Amino acid sequence: MAISVIFALSLNLITGFCGQISLGHAAFQGVGAYAAAMLGKAGWPFLATLPVAMLLACVLGVVVGLSSLRVRDDFLAITTMGVVFLFVGFVRQQDWLGGEMGVSSIPDHGMGKLGFMVFGIVLAAFVAGLSVYIRRTWMGRVFNGIAEDEDTMRVLGIDVPRYKLAAFAIGTALAGLSGALLAYHLQFIGAENFGFIESITVLSMVVFGGIGSVAWVVIAAAVLSALPAWFQVIGDYKLLVYGGLLFLMMRFSPGGIAGLVRRVFAPGKAREGKA
């Protein structure tokens, strides 16, 4: 649940805060996971692999961000979707990354089950706090302005490409962190762990909670990641359930649970926000 929260918040920073649609976010998590796994097998201590995983995911995020500066909306979504297919195809062709068999026998993190769980919760809380902090800073306000009306921000003299890259850099670095934690949690990873389905899954968490919301995205990510474990039938139809939730939310409550709560408990503010 903690890993899913970090992963969802990382996408929320790009899509929710800055309005940059990403349908290939799992690729950045995959970079972090493979980096941590390979470094761990090479003898690196667990904690030392985390910053490297974040850095490599961040580098890929900046590269994708640079290539996406001239596109937006549907074209940006298609571009980012292509990244995840490229990542999966690349990994499956590389024997030194395990190829089709994946990477197994990832070393233990050495924290014990309880210690690793507490560590993950602390990191998830830190990322949530960081998200709230960013949203309240000048950078967060610029992100919101870009999401609302990018052309107006350009007229006001804001360096829009710079802030777009900043959103991609921070968001993808956090995705790499979630990937590193996932690799040590599973102790086995394969290309199928970071495909298009996982990108849709994390997008469903963000949309279900409420795009741009921090608290509700945390709740949505925690609940939706736990559902397959609580109810086996949901695990068997995970993509169908998540896809259905995504469709229902976009059709009846585009603001997610956060928007629904505002309409119920503060209808006046909800109408003002809509206006």
Residues 145-176: pLDDT tens digits?
A: 988 888 889 888 888 889 999 999 999 999 99
User: Across the chain, what does the average pLDDT equal?
Assistant: 86
pLDDT at site 69: 75
Domain presence at residue 200: no
The pair of structure tokens assigned to 47 is 């904690």
Domain presence at residue 72: yes
Q: Which domain holds residue 11?
A: 2-195+212-226
| pLDDT higher at 100 or 185 | 185
Domain presence at residue 54: yes
CATH number of the domain that residue 22 is part of: 1.10.3470.10
Are 204 and 243 a contacting pair, CB within 8 Å? Answer: yes
Residues 6+ apart with CB under 8 A from 261: 216
Of 51-60, 201-210, 215-224, 252-261, highest mean pLDDT:
51-60
Domain presence at residue 104: yes
The residues facing 189 across adjacent strands are: 103
Single-letter amino acid, residue 249:
M
Residue 103, classed as helix, strand or coil, is: strand
Mean local confidence (pLDDT), 189-195: 89
Domain presence at residue 38: yes
Residue 12's closest CA among 239, 256, 250, 183?
256
Domain presence at residue 87: yes
- Residue 4 burial (C-beta neighbours within 10 Å; 0-12, 13-18, 19+): buried
Residues 231-275 have pLDDT tens digits of: 666 656 767 777 777 787 777 777 777 777 777 666 555 444 433
State the total domains in the chain: 1
Domain presence at residue 256: no
pLDDT at site 271: 43
Domain presence at residue 148: yes
